[in-house]
Amino acid sequence: MSDTRVDFRAPATLRKWPSVNKERVSAALGARPYMIIEGTLEECIQKFMLLPKSQHHLYEIHTAPQSDLVSAVLAADHVMELSRLRDLLAK
């Protein structure tokens, strides 16, 4: 794990899925997530963490994959883990 690094400066986009009654509209119905912000992985994580927890399931971050820690599409649970890792590395 000590050799594994995350580039929080990598380009990324924060995206939100369309929703009805606080639930995602299915991709089977033609829904696609739309861009909220474009910036770095760090900026997208920061913006995500400011969102109400009750809405986290509607968002995802898209970025270039990095090792086993960062996939191309990061769901809410994964974003929260990366946020904790970022905070830990900053200490």
Q: What is the DSSP string of the chain?
A: -TT----TTSEEEEEE--EETTEEPPGGGT---EEEEEEEHHHHHHHHHHS-GGGGGGEEEEE--BTTTB-SEE-HHHHHHHHHHHHHHH-
pLDDT tier for residue 1 given thresholds of 50, 70 and 90: very low
For residues 31 and 13, what is the distance between their CA atoms, to the nearest angstrom? 17
The model's pLDDT over 40-70, given as tens digits with 9 standing for 90+, comes to 999 999 999 999 999 999 999 999 999 788 9
Mean pLDDT (the chain) is: 92
Question: Encoding tokens for residue 9?
Answer: 């400066």
pLDDT beyond 70 at 33: yes
The whole-number pLDDT of residue 89 equals 77
What is the C-alpha R_g of the chain? 13
Report, as an integer, the average pLDDT of 77-83: 94
CA dihedral sign, ordered 26, 51, 71, 38:
positive
pLDDT at 39 over 50: yes
Q: Which two tokens stand for residue 40?
A: 């770095």
Give the pLDDT of residue 3.
53
